[in-house]
Amino acid sequence: MKELRILLQTSLTLLLLAGSSSGRYVSSAVNHQTITGPSLRMDQALLTFHNQLKEEVQVFYTSDYCYKCVYQHLASVKLNNNNTSVVISTKFTLTVQVEPEARNSTLCRWSQKYEEGGHYSVWIQMSEDPSCAHTVAKRPNNAYLPLVVSALSLAIIALLVVAAPYVYRRRRTSIFFKTICCQCTQYSVDNDGAHSSEAEHNPTNAKPTRLRSLDTFRGFALTVMVFVNYGGGGYWFFQHAPWNGLTVADLVMPWFVFMIGTSVVLAFRSMHRRGVSRLQLLRKSTWRTAVLLMLGFCFLNYSPRDGPLSWSWLRIPGVLQRLGFTYFVLSLLQTFWRQREIPLTSHHWWNPIQDVVLYWPQWLIIILLETLWLCITFLMPVPNCPTGYLGAGGIGDNGLYPNCTGGAAGHIDRLMFGDNMYRYPTCKELYQTTQPFDPEGVLGTINSIVMGFLGMQAGNIIIFYKGRNVQILCRFLVWAVILGISAAILSKCTRDGGFIPVNKNLWSLSYVTCLGCFSFLLLAAMYFVSDIKGWWGGQPFIYPGMNSIFVYVGHSLLGFYFPFSWEMHFQQSHWEWLFQSLWGTALWVLIAYLLYRKNFFLKI
């Protein structure tokens, strides 16, 4: 009850501090308009068409990132040396097509990735044949310069942070300073540090030390999540992919789910060793799930501009809702079907895979769940849509299925939740969809459980081969290879042309195997660097990793208010937005560090 009281007080405080909300301008795939003078923002360029023909022409476009999308009208250019200027997006490569007004034919067509801030001219002229000549009236900006400067600055800061203690130790001369430093080095980075120092003097009461790599991995994923939620500097690859494909923003939630699975195994094993009963484990799991659901339903759904909480706009699916339900299922698997004793000395033909075979009831349930996902996704009939459809709908797929966004997954959510869903899916602008679609819907939660179970497998490996680090790392790498090959086969190493494309909105099977591969690789690297070699204590990611609930809820409620963000005034480039994203993220890391120093860890 004390933990609930602290949680509610913290959440309500964050909620009351939140003022009026403010929006951000987000450019579409081609945000075009006829203009009289250049008025460009970031990710925009000016494209001017000069028509030297004796007939009016129409200009159409499509984005190469939009799969089989119908050409959209861009501009009309009158005859006899008239010109028309439009503002276009520079996020993706565009295919532009010029057609005469009076006849159905194509004068010219080209694909080009325009650069931010550039002024381009296209001269539609006639020599022997119609042609479209390109000139550059104003050179574009270097859109990636802010990113390079920020990366170098962060690298220098990290180098100074690492080098400063070394220089300080080298300059120590007195015994007094040596004593202070010895005391500093004994201070553990985890909240079980006191128990660890006691264990040295009393081995019988020794408690297992906390793995730094787990907290570091969790904190790294959370830090990246905060950064991309603040806009990622306005760069498209720090935002979610429009539909198929993978961006930086699409990586973080599966990593977080993976860490949930690993933590469930280690935490439940510790509680089993302390003699916690099965009923107590069920109570703890149910309570934690209920709190996560409550936070997702109420607090993170709330915005002051919406007025009192209202069912009419309350979003039922959500990130915390999915995390809570995934945690509950994984905890049930670990409560009822864990392996009590691992026969390390037994000799069987299946010894090389005994860490899998011994957990066969869990694997059977996961295989049944994945079979259910495949059957519903590819066999369930959806009205007015092809069976097994995985596209975004809208103008995609030649405009044949405009109301089929998400196929079976979208259909199930619309039947269950109606309008109580996410209103702005990532495909809305590029594919011009009209149907609501929630990336945290029901069907995708099945594969979220599968992703968490892969994390449980990592936890089982850590327990099973405790003290044999080479075997732990080798098995992590084997799992990474198996999952990576599976993802390559399912997606055919393409964005849109595979059997099952990599898709975060659907949480497709290839998405889970691909991110599972990345998760095992990252965990192996952090485990080697932090827990085996001790080269890195996980700073600064370990601090938000140990207070993940507080940081996530806090940045979700307060993230778009001062001092974490402000109304931007310089929108011609990425400089201010990138600074704002890094500033807000750094503040939450600093807050997590201060809470760590105060030994405050918000638990559920």
Domain boundaries, the chain: 44-138, 187-342+351-380+388-429+449-597
Segment 410-418 shows an average pLDDT of: 90
Residue 355 is predicted with a pLDDT of 72
Q: How does the average pLDDT of the chain come out, rounded?
A: 82
- What is the C-alpha separation between 328 and 334, in angstroms, rounded? 10
Catalytic center residues: 240
- What is the C-alpha separation between 369 and 6, in angstroms, rounded? 36
pTM higher than the cut 0.75: yes
Residue 19 is predicted with a pLDDT of 37
Q: What is the tens place of the pLDDT at every residue in 87-125?
A: 999 999 999 999 888 777 888 899 999 999 899 999 988
Closest CA to 150 of 23, 250, 235, 40: 235
| Three-state SS at 178 | helix
- What is the C-alpha separation between 228 and 60, in angstroms, rounded? 32
Q: Give CA angle at 274 (204, 468), nearest 5°.
A: 65
DSSP per-residue letters across 336-399: HS--S---TT---TTGGGHHHHTTHHHHHHHHHHHHHHHHHHHHS--TTS-TT--S--TT-GGG
- What is the C-alpha separation between 221 and 252, in angstroms, rounded? 5
Residue 442 is predicted with a pLDDT of 93
Residues in the chain: 604
Characterize the bridge pairing of strands 119-126 and 44-51: parallel
The Cβ of residue 64 has, within 10 Å, a number of other Cβ atoms equal to: 14
* Token pair recorded at residue 150: 């920020």
Burial bucket for residue 24 (CB in 10 Å: 0-12, 13-18, 19+): middle
Residue 307 is predicted with a pLDDT of 52
Closest CA to 552 of 222, 82, 133: 222
* Percentages of the chain per state (helix, strand, coil), in multiples of 5: 50, 10, 40
- The half-sphere exposure of 105 on its side-chain side, counting CA atoms within 13 A, is 5
Secondary structure element (H or E) that encloses residue 331, with its range: helix 319-336
Closest CA to 83 of 112, 46, 45, 28: 46
Residue 82 is predicted with a pLDDT of 83
DSSP 430: H
Closest CA to 189 of 430, 534, 471, 431: 534
Closest CA to 445 of 327, 317, 322: 322
Question: Which of 162-166, 171-175, 330-334 has the highest average model confidence (pLDDT)?
Answer: 330-334
- What is the C-alpha separation between 604 and 39, in angstroms, rounded? 50
Q: What is the tens place of the pLDDT at every residue in 65-89?
A: 999 999 999 999 888 778 899 999 9
| Three-state SS at 51 | strand
Q: What is the tens place of the pLDDT at every residue in 288-325?
A: 999 998 888 876 665 444 555 555 667 888 889 999 99
Q: What is the tens place of the pLDDT at every residue in 198-233?
A: 333 343 344 446 788 999 999 999 999 999 999 898
Residue 315 is predicted with a pLDDT of 80
Q: Give CA angle at 252 (303, 590), nearest 5°.
A: 70
Categorize the per-residue pLDDT at 38 as very low, low, confident or very high, splitting at 50, 70 and 90: low
| 11 has a pLDDT exceeding 50 | no
- What is the C-alpha separation between 512 and 256, in angstroms, rounded? 13
Can you tell me which residue has the tokens 């392996």?
339
Cβ-contact 234, 42 below 8 angstroms? yes
Fold of the domain built from segment(s) 44-138: Immunoglobulin-like (2.60.40)
- What is the C-alpha separation between 68 and 90, in angstroms, rounded? 19
Cβ-contact 89, 25 below 8 angstroms? no
Question: Which of 36-45, 303-312, 458-467 has the highest average model confidence (pLDDT)?
Answer: 458-467
Higher-confidence position of 289 and 9: 289
Give percent of the chain above pLDDT 70: 81
Burial bucket for residue 185 (CB in 10 Å: 0-12, 13-18, 19+): exposed
DSSP per-residue letters across 84-121: EEEEEE-SS-EEEEEEESSSS--SEEEEE-PPTT-EEE
Cβ-contact 233, 577 below 8 angstroms? yes
Question: Which of 114-123, 370-379, 572-581 has the highest average model confidence (pLDDT)?
Answer: 370-379
Residue 345 is predicted with a pLDDT of 54
The Cβ of residue 338 has, within 10 Å, a number of other Cβ atoms equal to: 17
Residue 33 is predicted with a pLDDT of 43
| 41 has a pLDDT exceeding 90 | no
| 191 has a pLDDT exceeding 90 | no
Sign of CA dihedral 368, 371, 376, 377: positive
Q: What is the tens place of the pLDDT at every residue in 423-435?
A: 788 999 999 998 8
| 516 has a pLDDT exceeding 90 | yes
Q: What is the tens place of the pLDDT at every residue in 228-248?
A: 999 898 899 999 999 999 999
The Cβ of residue 527 has, within 10 Å, a number of other Cβ atoms equal to: 23
| 27 has a pLDDT exceeding 50 | no
* Token pair recorded at residue 368: 């049944």
Cβ-contact 412, 385 below 8 angstroms? no
- What is the C-alpha separation between 507 and 445, in angstroms, rounded? 8
| 127 has a pLDDT exceeding 60 | yes
Residue 420 is predicted with a pLDDT of 77
